[in-house]
Structure 1
Amino acid sequence: MTTLHAPTRLGDTWREWLAENLAMGASVDEARAAAVAGCGDADAVDAELAELTGHPYFAVCRRLALRYDWMESVLDTYRALRNSDGGGTLERRADLTPEEFFSRYYFGNRPVVIEGLMTDWPALEWTLESLATKCGDAQVEVMTGRDANPDHAWQYDRHRTTMPFRDYLTALGSGVRTNDYYMVPRNENWSGPLRPLAADVRPPAGIVDPSAVGHLLLGPAGTVTPLHVDNSSVLLCQVLGRKHVRLVPSYERHLVYPRGGTFSAVDAADPDPVRHPRFAEATVLETVLEPGQMLLVPVGWWHWVEALDVSATVTFHHFCTPGQNHKMATPPAAGQDD
């Protein structure tokens, strides 16, 4: 008597992959070929496809995906319009007035490099030695052990370390190029132990709320903040060293392969055209931010940052506008790729 064997059931990873790709418009033949090549079990793939394509839940997913396609077409149209109106260029302005800052850039959702608004900042005279003199005994929080965890950017709670500021400055002074440790804004350093340093910055009048408390980013050459998006606008003010910045417009979210909610799966320093082919369509603006320059990163704009030198940056999020900033909802981080 012949015994019939039911096909092996696919694991959840491949089941999700099939559902997502079919919902987003891949043909059954394309999805089947890729799944069989990946998992090696044609019978299991065929059984899953038969169950999936006949399920009413899948019909709902497909309708939602069609709405998503329509939204992408709206974004693509807006992208074409913006690129025909200078959207493919990162503007640079000297002595920008508050009125134009808000009308063209903040409310226009356009990034801009600003020069001439930091000339009165004592912070431009900072050195590692002067910082140690001012606050060397303060206990500060630093993110350490980043190299061992490729997901350190959003798993930051695992990397919090407290140390004397003087010891951290000594590490920076070693000249080692590394991404292993970095003082990022996710702490109370600036409003707490390093508060005396705030006297050395001057929030630009009429642009940043004068009562605003900024944040300090301080790290060695080689620190990288992966491609990500903030849920509100931010003004980067470069104080010490240089930073290489790449930006992707807010309306090109569908080209950056969002991952973990506010991060991208794309390595903006070395994009993989096989894994992330649509990123080649993205508009990538870039600049090297020098001491004394500011950069407005508008809400929703994706940005990647690499320190070229030992670098200190002060950031502001509270602007002279009702509500101090415009915030978008933080996208869910339900999976590795969304």
Structure 2
Amino acid sequence: MISDNQKFNKTIKPNSAFLSQLKDKLPEFFTKDNQFNLNKFKLELQNNNVDELKDGYQLNFIGKNYARRQAGEMPTTVVVPDEKQNEGEGKESNNLFFTGDNLEVLHHLEVGYLNKINTIFIDPPYNTGSNDFEYHDSFEYSDDRIKNMFGLEDEQVESLKSIQDSSSHSAWLTFMYPRLVIARRILSSKGTIFISIDDNEFSNLKNICDEIFGEANYVDTFVWESRTSISNDSPISLNHNYILVYAKDIQQLQWYGDPLSSKEYKNPDNDPRGPWKLTPLDANKAGGDTVFGITNPNTGKEYFLLTIESGLLIEMALKD
């Protein structure tokens, strides 16, 4: 027996999810038979003096349309409680722990948690070439169905199927794309996603995140020390990885924590400059004093002078 979700999945196309989102936001540009009226949309742009459209670029890869279609599918499995886990350490927990294919789990989360998640952290395969990633997908449809579904020629179908059990960049991107699309959907309007990665796929990840989340919603990239030892297997011993940070809507971005403020600091010696505060010493636009004395907390006497220029300590001397 075929479920409703399975029937739905048989009918969707690579652009189905996008058109569905577009219809939610711009229903006035859709016809009775759910077709997007491009001419009406262009006319509306002209009427509102939006006549300058910037040239852009996008990242294309083998399997992109297939990945876009996967992003629009519905879950075809059933979530079953783990009675043993629920009677163990997780008995009193309010958390949810899912075991299964992560794309299918994300589809389930999309059903119940659309626009509700504040923070997502993912640590995907880095695709280092050390057997840490292979793209396993059965491509359950026949070649003819794939050709009709995506409008492909025979050679293009073979190219698509070539990423099976592959660790190519295209295979990795096909794996990541639908997962990031759904992750964006379940983020709240104030939500943030953190994605750990290394040099092997950093540039590709940045490109698809710009496409999915929007370049304007890029927050920053954290560089963190991932190892302290020195490697001799390459000309340069790299000891860092990255965490890319994107917001669902950077205008509504909300960090969950207590921000630093001057209220946290006091001024017990009544220094005329006020309480200590975070001020970049290498960007002192006001031309203020960059000579600082170090006071002995026991005697109250000043022993050293520090001169700081461009963020660097350049002088340390005893004071008479």
Give the TM-score normalised by structure 1.
0.21
Q: Which has the larger radius of gyration?
A: 2
Give the TM-score normalised by structure 2.
0.22
